[in-house]
A and B are shown apart, each in its own frame.
Chain A
Amino acid sequence: MAEMEVADKGGKKGPGVKKSKKLSTRVDLTPMVDLGFLLITFFMMTTTLNKPKTMEINMPYKDDEEVIEDETKIKESTALTILLSKKHRVYYYEGMATDPENTPEVHVTTFKPEKGIRDVIIDKKNKVEDLKRRGALNEKDKTTILIKPDTNSTYDDLVSMLDEMAINDIRVYAIVDITDVDREFISETENANPGN
């Protein structure tokens, strides 16, 4: 209890001493509780209990002096190229379009959870697994995704795409500069689907 019992053993209580009025020691704690809760509210609001998360990213080693011809090592059949463009649109095609004679079929999709780019990646993964089983690809070959963000794409697109890599367990992927050929693919696809 908050009140304190004041010891009342005073020897002063003589007949001549005026008996002092015993004041109650009971303190009203309501304002103190108010203040306590006010401070609690303040600390709860300002505190950052959930720390921000980070996504680790490893860029491929790059050196201007020594040119590593890495892209040729990737087999066309394992590759999927994804172009990030404006309005969060995603264009994709099989392979890497290294053969100018044989232009790939470019499709357009978005990041929507169903029938979006995720399904495309899963499809591609299954295809590569299939080719492995049939012996067309080595055991070491892995689905490789080339991410080519266009200049009008946002950081959100890039992170969503990198996140898709984590979601679908794609181990081999690279962020590559977009080429003029890829830009042409985008505008061609745009013209073919004017409705979008």
Chain B
Amino acid sequence: MPKKSTNVDMTAMCDVAFLLLTFFMLATQFKPDEPVTVTTPNSISEVPLPDADIMLITVDPDGRIFFSIDNQNVRNDLITKLDEQKGLNLTAEEKNNFIIGASVGVPFSQLKSYLAASVDEKAKLDKSAPGIPTDTVVTSEKNELALWIKEARYSNPKLRITIKADAKASYPDIKEVISTLEGWKIFKFSLITGLKAVPPGTAAYEESMGGMKSE
């Protein structure tokens, strides 16, 4: 019996591997780096998060509030305005750090030192950050979140407001955020949730089944 070669031609496999690689490279959207990990609760809602014009208010399990908006131009606008209003004396570099950075969760008094910090230091600061101070009254001097929201809305009026809160966050913390939004006459906003299946035998289940039948 002739000895057969065990050499396999790898070309085909290589082709497939790179095809998949190209697909994933193009389809990928990197997870935005979050200062805190938040486990959202689940709901049956299937409305996807829009791609652009989002204001994200993150609430972590301890009730700390982080603020972020998505567009870099808007971020630029926002930090310039806040710098003037609050007299933060930010340098161009610190402003740039804000523009390219992620969510911010420090009071205005600490904002300058936070933005001046290096990436590693920031990660540490995020762990100890007190979060953006809020209050139930929108006009209160203490309510810095209110100012963030107001200025962000001036910078981009189309902003869609989303709240991403941890399932373990306590209600009064959420209530403060909602009251602040209500104070600015924002009554429509979105809560970010995970997806769970519609329980059978309920009104929503029948509706989803009915919708499928009529198609």
Those of A150-179 within 8 Å (CB) of chain B: 150-160, 162-163, 166-169
Is A192 located at the chain interface by the 8 A CB criterion?
no
A33 on the B face (CB < 8 A) = yes
Q: Is the CB–CB distance between A168 and B203 below 8 Å?
A: yes
Q: How far is the CA of A158 from the CA of B27 in the complex (A)?
A: 35
Docked-complex contact B44 and A33, CB < 8 angstroms: no
Which residues from chain B contact A37 at a C-beta distance below 8 Å?
Answer: 17
Known contacts A40-B20, A55-B190: A151-B47 contact under CB 8 Å: no
- A-chain residues with CB within 8 Å of residue B181 when the two chains form the complex: 59
A32 proximity list for chain B (CB < 8 A): 10, 14
A155 x B59 contact (CB < 8 A) = yes
Per-residue 0/1 for A93-133: is the Cβ within 8 Å of any B Cβ (1 yes, 0 no)? 00000000000000000000100001000100000000000
**CB atoms of A29 and B203 under 8 A apart:** no
Chain B residue at minimal CB-CB distance from A26: B7
Closest residue of chain A to B54 (Cβ to Cβ) is: A54
Which residues of the other chain, B, contact A52 by a CB distance below 8 angstroms? 40, 48-49, 164, 192-194
Q: Is the CB of B191 within 8 A of A54?
A: yes
- B28 contacts partner chain A, Cβ-Cβ < 8 Å: yes
Does any Cβ of A come within 8 Å of B9's Cβ?
yes
Q: List, in ascending order, chain A residues with CB within 8 A of B10's CB.
A: 2, 28-30, 32-33
Q: Which residue of A lies closest to B160 (CB)?
A: A54
Write 7 A-B pairs (CB below 8 A) sorted by A numbering: A29-B13, A33-B17, A47-B27, A58-B187, A60-B187, A166-B44, A166-B45
Q: How far is the CB of A107 from chain B (nearest CB, A)?
A: 20
* Shortest beta-carbon distance from A154 to chain B in Å: 6
If A43-B25, A166-B43 touch, whether A154 touches B168 (CB-CB below 8 Å) is yes
Whether the Cβ atoms of A57 and B165 lie closer than 8 Å is: no
The A contact surface, by secondary structure, is mixed
Query: Total number of A-B contacts with CB less than 8 angstroms?
Result: 172
Q: B31 at the A/B interface (Cβ < 8 Å)?
A: yes
How many whole Å from B117's CB to the nearest CB in chain A? 25
Assess whether B191 is in contact with A33, with CB atoms less than 8 Å apart: no
Main secondary structure of the interface of B (DSSP, over half): mixed
How many chain A residues sit at the interface, stated as a range, is 35 or more
Known: A52-B49, A56-B188. A155 touches B165 (CB 8 A): yes
Q: Is B80 an interface residue (CB 8 A)?
A: no
Do B14 and A36 touch across chains, with their CB atoms under 8 A apart? yes
Q: How far is the CB of A91 from chain B (nearest CB, A)?
A: 14
Q: A118-B202, A151-B170, A159-B167 are in contact. List 8 more A-B contacts (CB 8 A).
A: A36-B18, A52-B49, A54-B162, A155-B165, A155-B167, A160-B41, A167-B202, A168-B204
Q: Which residues 133-184 in B have Cβ within 8 Å of A in the complex? A: 162, 164-175, 178, 181-182
Contacts of A153 in B (CB 8 A): 170-171
B45, B171, B193, B203 pick with most chain A CB within 10 angstroms: B171
Contact residues, A52-99 vs B (CB, 8 A): 52-62, 84
In the complex the two chains form, is A46's CB within 8 Å of B28's CB?
yes
**Are B43 and A162 touching (Cβ within 8 A)?**
yes
Q: Which 10 A-B pairs have the closest CB atoms?
A: A36-B17, A43-B24, A29-B10, A169-B203, A156-B167, A54-B190, A55-B45, A47-B28, A159-B41, A163-B43
In contact, A155 and B199 (Cβ under 8 angstroms)? no
